[in-house]
Amino acid sequence: MNQTLPITVTVNKKVYQREVEPRLLLSDFLRHDLGLTGTHVGCEHGVCGACTILFDGESARSCLMFAVQADGHSITTVEGLTKDKDNLHSLQQAFWEAHGLQCGYCTPGILMTLVPFLEQNPDPTEDEIRHALSGNLCRCTGYQHIVDAVKLAVEKMR
Amino acid sequence: MKPAPFEYYAPHSLDQALELIRGYADDAKILAGGQSLVPAMNFRVVQPSVLVDINRVPELSYIRGDGDVLRIGAMTRERQLEFDLLIAKRTPLLAEALPFIAHPQIRNRGTIGGSLVNADPAAELPVLMLALNARLKASKVSGERWMEARDFFVGMFTTALEPDEMLVEIELPAMPTRTGWSFMEVAPRAGDYAMMGVAALITLDEKGNCMQAKLVYLNAGDGPVDAQNAASLLQGERLGDALIESSAKLASESEINPFGNIHASVDYQRHLAKVLTQRGLRQAVQRAEGTLQ
């Protein structure tokens, strides 16, 4: 029998208590144990950015952390950006309107990367936007529309 | 891709952590930021039977000025270093190079100690520690010792740490007056491992001649490569384009030892080293001259 440990984690402002194996990745914990499948799993070695979440408010790869490390911490996933689909976060609304997604696989990671980026830099240049996106891979290569969506979001959030 | 099972400990103090790694030594891995260790565990390239997570040891995370030096706790996140005003003021080379390390999502978790102990020849921080003459403090249950950065990196992914030792503090001397700096690298895409990179430091005397020079390369051998011959060529001289070119030629042709990879052949890496050295030295000289007025 493998070791399991009790953890208490706040995800999207809701408190969860679970028993986890230490080797359980935070990404798998969110998806399998909590059913929050908005966090996507691409490469599982920190390259693609699909699993990006906010850990205590800062963007991080959830595939490069263990669920046990989240004990006592606060996490925001893409599900935490909005309560329902009629009231999207301005960034989500901009992605919708500017066709910022094709297959959508990379989108949650990109949104969770951009939320803190736009808080720190509310008026970015196109270069800064592209640089901010460099840690997230879009397998459809739809970068131009993603950049357009971010520019639109910047206008909406002004 | 899932890590193999392991026993997990999350000590709350340095003493507890050192006790644990003494007990398990070779079987244990220390988990710092996890940005290199966890991918290796996901691939099962690394399968520690015990993981000692030091993220809950608050006493290992700090940046403080102490006379002429900066003291940095091994668990300090790269992102914290990036925005630190003391670092920007006293070691601008480090401040300038930090944004080249991967992406903000990685720097939010990655730690200075973790990167140094990982000793990846393509990583930025080992190169910077060598360039800045850092000293590193290792602790174990029965005591502590200090090492020069150049003695710490002993080979590919290998450091001078003993299995029961942990890197706990980095001591960084402030850059001397009349010093110019440069950090340059070329990567296939922003945030990727660089194909070649160089940190350059130039200290001028009051007349504007080179008093001291330093050139350290990443991805140019089995650890950070200190091109001492190319640097000493500059010593005592007025730094013009011809001399800079000779120094870059010497470093790129005979002092570095790059291996080549799918992104860059050895020849291309040497070419990059030469071009980056020339640009880096020019920038460093310009910045050093700026302090003379």
The domain that holds A103 is classified in CATH as 1.10.150.120
Same domain, B156 and B220: no
- The CATH number assigned to the domain holding B15 equals 3.30.43.10
Contact (Cβ atoms closer than 8 angstroms) between residue B274 and residue B196: no
Tell me how close the Cα of B1 comes to any Cα of chain A, in angstroms. 7
User: Which H or E run contains B30?
Assistant: strand B28-31
Structural contact between residues B121 and B261, judged by C-beta atoms closer than 8 angstroms: no
A65 inside 8 A of chain B by CB: yes
Among B34, B42, B190, whose Cβ lies nearest the Cβ of A134?
B190
State the DSSP code for B255: I
Co-location of B103 and B49 in the same domain: no
Classify residue B255: in a domain, yes or no.
Answer: yes
Report residue A84's pLDDT band, with 50, 70 and 90 as the boundaries: confident
Where a domain ends, among B56, B79, B94? B56
Same domain assignment for residues A62 and A105: no
Same domain, A65 and A96: no
Domain, as residue range, for B93: 58-173
Query: A61 has which bridge partners?
Result: A52
CATH number at residue B197: 3.30.390.50
Residue B116 domain-assigned? Answer: yes
Residue B2 lies in a domain: no
What does the angle CA B104 – CA A79 – CA A34 come to, to the nearest 5 degrees?
100
Instruction: Please check whether residues B148 and B188 belong to one and the same domain.
Output: no
Rounded mean pLDDT, A62-86: 96
Q: Are A93 and A156 in contact (CB under 8 A)?
A: yes
Domain count for chain A: 2
From the list A52, A58, A64, the residue facing B39 with the nearest CB is A64
pLDDT tens, residue by residue, A141-152: 999 999 999 999
Shared domain check, A60 and A106: no
pLDDT digits (tens, 9 = 90+) for A18-34: 999 999 999 999 999 99
Mean pLDDT of chain B: 97
Contacts of B189 in chain A (CB under 8 A): 134
With contact defined as beta carbons under 8 Å apart, do B185 and B198 qualify? Answer: yes
pLDDT at B1: 64
Q: Order across the sheet with B63-66: list the strands.
A: B63-66, B69-73, B166-173, B135-140, B143-148
Interface test with A, best of B56, B105, B111 (most A CBs within 10 A): B105
- Residue that is last in its domain, among A81, A100, A121: A81
Phi and psi at residue B181, in whole multiples of 5°?
Answer: -140, 165
Q: A67 with A9, same domain?
A: yes
Residue A26's CATH number: 3.10.20.30
Q: Rounded to an integer, what distance in angstroms lies between the CA atom of residue A28 and that of residue A61?
A: 12
- B227 and B253 share one domain: yes
pLDDT, one tens digit per residue, over B219-241 is 999 999 999 999 999 999 999 99
What pLDDT does residue B277 have? 98
* Helices assigned H by DSSP within A58-99: 90-97
Domain count, chain B: 3
Give dist(CA B15, CA B75) in Å, integer: 15
Residue B22 included in any domain: yes
Q: How distant is the Cα of B38 from the closest Cα of chain A, in angstroms?
A: 5
d(C-alpha B87, C-alpha B222), whole Å: 28
User: Is residue B81 one of the residues assigned to a domain?
Assistant: yes
Do B121 and B31 belong together in one domain? Answer: no
Q: Are A70 and A95 in a shared domain?
A: no
Alpha helices (runs of H) in chain B, residue ranges in sequence order: 14-24, 37-42, 78-82, 85-90, 92-97, 104-107, 112-118, 124-131, 149-152, 228-232, 241-250, 266-290
Do A65 and A95 lie in a common domain? no
* DSSP codes joined into one string, A105-134: SSHHHHHHHHHHHHHH-SS--HHHHHHHGG
Among candidate residues A81, A104, A137, the one where a domain is terminated: A81
In which domain, by residue range, is A98 found? 90-157
pLDDT score, position A85: 84
Which residues of A fall within a CB distance of 8 Å from B194?
none
Q: Is B39 on the interface with A (CB under 8 A)?
A: yes
B98 and B154 in a single domain? The answer is yes
Same domain, B51 and B105: no
Contacts A–B by Cβ distance under 8 A = 88
Confidence of residue A1 (pLDDT cuts 50, 70, 90): low
Domain end position, chosen among A56, A81, A106: A81
Please tell me whether residues B154 and B236 are part of one structural domain: no
